[in-house]
Amino acid sequence: MTQARGQGTGPAGDERDRAATVRVFIALAPPDEAKDELEAVLRPAYDAYPRMRWNRIEDWHITLAFLGELPVGTVPPLRPPLADLAASHGPVELALRGGGHFDERVLWSGIDGDVDGLHRLATDVRRVVKECGIPFEDRPLRPHLTLARARRDDRSSVVDVAAGLAGFTGRPWRTQRLHLVASDFGRGPGPIRYRDIEAWAFGGR
């Protein structure tokens, strides 16, 4: 990957490099009812802290494995084993709960419920990735739902909003699909956007 990215020079080279790679992660998404519930709690913060870089609600997700920037040709082989994994894996019951921040920069909501089951699912997902020969940074899972990022000159807002979420407890919900997601992070000045490459329903128990 490093060699391929080094082949282009200037804006045209950058565009060729970006077209040849994709930023990828594997994730879960809360159902609309759970997202609506948290959105209602956050609505006053949207008005009070408009300078924070709020994630779009439709993009809220729980990352299981972050694979980073990959050559586009490495992505299709992930699809069959991830489909098989989802089909053989029962849903996990989770809930959104509380809030916090990473280094006064990133605002998140916490994950409650069958967290052990969530960790087992993440372990299985990462095993599939490794079996496909895709190198990635296998960091310990810290289950959370990223909500917003602070501006460089205003980190107190994240701390304040996180404190306001401390008592939030959302309704339980069951995971519905395993998502293979692409991100446009770092590809322009606008907000980050995500799109499903593909998603697979979990099998029953």
Percent of the chain past pLDDT 70, that is, above it, reads 85
How many whole angstroms separate alpha carbon 148 and alpha carbon 59? 11
Decide which of 53 and 18 is more confident. Answer: 53
User: pLDDT band at residue 205, thresholds of 50, 70 and 90?
Assistant: low
Please say if the pLDDT value at position 2 is more than 60: no
For 137, list phi and psi in degrees, rounded to 5.
-85, 110
* Digit-coded pLDDT (tens) for 122-162: 999 999 999 999 999 889 999 999 999 998 888 789 999 99
Buried b (16+ CB within 10 A) or exposed e, 172-192: ebebeebbbbbbeeeeeeeeb
Q: Give the model's pLDDT for residue 190.
A: 53
How many whole angstroms separate alpha carbon 185 and alpha carbon 193? 7
Q: Give the model's pLDDT for residue 37.
A: 97
Q: Give the model's pLDDT for residue 1.
A: 20
How high is the mean pLDDT of the chain?
A: 87
Catalytic residue ranges: 61, 144
Question: In the predicted model, what is the mean pLDDT of residues 91-120?
Answer: 96
Tokens of 12: 């045209």
